[in-house]
Chain A
Amino acid sequence: DAKTTQPPSMDCAEGRAANLPCNHSTISGNEYVYWYRQIHSQGPQYIIHGLKNNETNEMASLIITEDRKSSTLILPHATLRDTAVYYCIVRPSGGYQKVTFGTGTKLQVIP
């Protein structure tokens, strides 16, 4: 069973905020939400992660709902270089064998 659900694709105008949703309705109390992105055919790049509080860093903000069943990655001012596939991952606090990246959301930033 998939642990996260993301829309397959989204468009965003350059300079606008990109809001990428992720559903993780079966998340358990000790599981973190991670976001990575993959630009073209490069290796994935870490963006941000959180447990239950909202988080912000220099790249993005992560908003996690109070029930933790969904989250939103926000890129405040999308640029053409943000065009990539974005992966939402739920990761248990112990063990890596259950981590799957899924197929992610292809974000296209439009000039």
Chain B
Amino acid sequence: AQSVTQLGSHVSVSEGALVLLRCNYSSSVPPYLFWYVQYPNQGLQLLLKYTTGATLVKGINGFEAEFKKSETSFHLTKPSAHMSDAAEYFCAVTPTGGGNKLTFGTGTQLKVEL
């Protein structure tokens, strides 16, 4: 069975500072990996995904993530936080080949302070 661990349920950064949200997965084989963002009272929006190929993946809004097989990690970063980045972020996995269901982590609430 696959599982996802997001370290830190709440992360606070200053505007302009580096954003680092951590995600580790547990799977017998490397899965497909996703980061979603959820704004209040809205559905989830895909930020980026890793399936195959280059392990550094760039997404929308300046976010990127690097797949590290040896560390079973897929941490999300952004060089400079903006107030509009304040939201909840979810890491998710699905079996290689896609399959169907996404398995989500418990989420990290990002707060951006002036």
Chains A and B come from one and the same complex: no
Show the binding face of B for A, using Cβ within 8 Å: none
